[in-house]
């Protein structure tokens, strides 16, 4: 199955998916690489680190595959993964729980 993926440098890799790891590290074979300038080159195989992948396109026939069920927009809802919080918000939350000094209100001089 042919898959396409893009990297931050603007290159697009299109080839057969050989392997995919949990960390989204991808191994492709029989690849066509299209550069930012439109130049096309061929590669036998390539391994791309997951953190370097901007997007990954799989064939439409995999759209309803069970392995992608947990990847939907509400997949992690209610699982306690939390959200990023600023330092002041954390301090106020800790103060409400009775941990540490309450956060100062206003400007300290």
What pLDDT is recorded for position 76? 57
Cβ 9 vs Cβ 3: under 8 Å: no
How is the chain split into domains, by residue range? Answer: 2-71
Q: Which pLDDT tens digits describe the chain residue by residue (109 residues)?
A: 788 999 999 999 999 989 888 888 999 999 999 999 999 999 999 999 999 999 988 888 877 777 666 655 665 565 554 555 677 777 777 777 776 655 566 665 5
pTM of the model: 0.59
CA 99/CA 93 separation, integer angstroms: 9
CA 90/CA 95 separation, integer angstroms: 9
Q: What is the CATH number of domain 2-71?
A: 2.30.30.100
* Number of helices (H), then strands (E), in the chain: 1, 5
């Amino acid at each position: 199955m042919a898959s396409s993926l893009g990297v931050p440098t603007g290159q697009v890799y299109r080839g057969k998916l050989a392997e995919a790891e949990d960390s989204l590290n991808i191994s492709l074979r029989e690849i066509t690489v299209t550069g930012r300038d439109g130049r096309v080159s061929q590669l036998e195989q390539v391994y791309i680190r997951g953190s370097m992948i901007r997007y990954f396109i799989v064939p439409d026939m995999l759209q309803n595959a069970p392995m992608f069920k947990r990847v939907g927009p509400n997949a992690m809802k209610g699982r306690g993964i939390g959200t990023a919080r600023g330092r002041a918000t954390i301090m106020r939350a800790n103060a409400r729980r009775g941990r540490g000094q309450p956060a100062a209100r206003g400007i300290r001089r």
